[in-house]
Amino acid sequence: MPTVREFCTQSYRLISASNPTVPLHGDDLSLMITVMNQLLQSYAATGLMLTIAKDATTTVTIGQKEITVGAANIVPTPNITLGRLANLNSAWLLQNGVTYPLIDESRNEFFAAFKYEPLQGLPRFLIVLPDTDVVRLRLYPAPSQSYEFYMRAKFQLDGLTSNSDMNLVPQYYHRFLLFAVARDTAMYKGRSAAWDEKLEMLYKISKDEMEAASEVNLAITGDRASMLNGAYRVAAGI
């Protein structure tokens, strides 16, 4: 697995005709690492450009309304410390071998519909509430019992340094990232002319191939009629 330094050296050759034995000079390396980290963080805005999805779990206790997701160095420590949540694919609760899928509800829909703040029972909905450093996952209603919470999601990657290796991203992602980093670096180095139509075409092809391997949000659907109000809960015996 190449180091970030080796990866940037290869990427820079896309926009420079220098002898391949000549190392990067000046701020070329630090600039490319900065660009790479900025790209990786911006890809976390939607999660589509991040191909890696992971399973995460934590225990929710009686009356717990929210689950926090973020980096391990945040105070107070989040419930799940795999990084800031970038994209939620699916979520569910588990108790005594029984799985209870959670419905990903929009914030606007939830805040316009829920009425009874103290309500507890079997959580049916999960509302994603992004903050600056963490993402809060609101359970509604709050659990009346303890459950194991599971989710499959993508998380914002940590920043890279020159000595980091590239194992944070799968190898099939590298080809796209080589083009993406060189494309943005060319603008900062005054080498926009070096990024020609052929390179742009290869960039778009590699981007499409990478996105095809990316997991997308798979919303769980079901009978949603009146599920947020108390009448449904009484009728369903929840």
pLDDT at 56: 96
Helix (H) or strand (E) holding 96: none
Number of C-beta neighbours around residue 231 at 10 A: 8
pLDDT at 216: 63
Give 238's Cβ-side CA count (13 Å radius): 19
Give 78's Cβ-side CA count (13 Å radius): 22
E-only strand ranges, the chain? 54-60, 66-69, 85-95, 98-101, 103-105, 120-121, 125-130, 135-140, 142-143, 147-155
As a whole number of angstroms, the distance between CA 151 and CA 156 comes to: 15
pLDDT in tens, the chain (238 residues): 788 999 998 998 898 876 555 567 778 889 999 999 999 989 888 787 888 888 999 999 999 999 999 988 888 999 999 999 998 999 999 999 999 999 988 888 888 877 666 678 899 999 999 998 899 999 998 999 999 999 999 998 888 888 888 888 888 889 999 999 999 999 888 888 889 999 999 999 999 988 888 776 544 444 554 455 555 555 444 5
Over its C-alpha atoms, the chain yields an Rg (Å, rounded) of: 22
| Domain segments of the chain as ranges | 4-48+157-195, 54-154+217-236
pLDDT at 19: 56
pLDDT at 211: 83
Write out the two tokens for 180. Answer: 């993406």
pLDDT at 221: 46
pLDDT at 1: 78
pLDDT at 47: 82
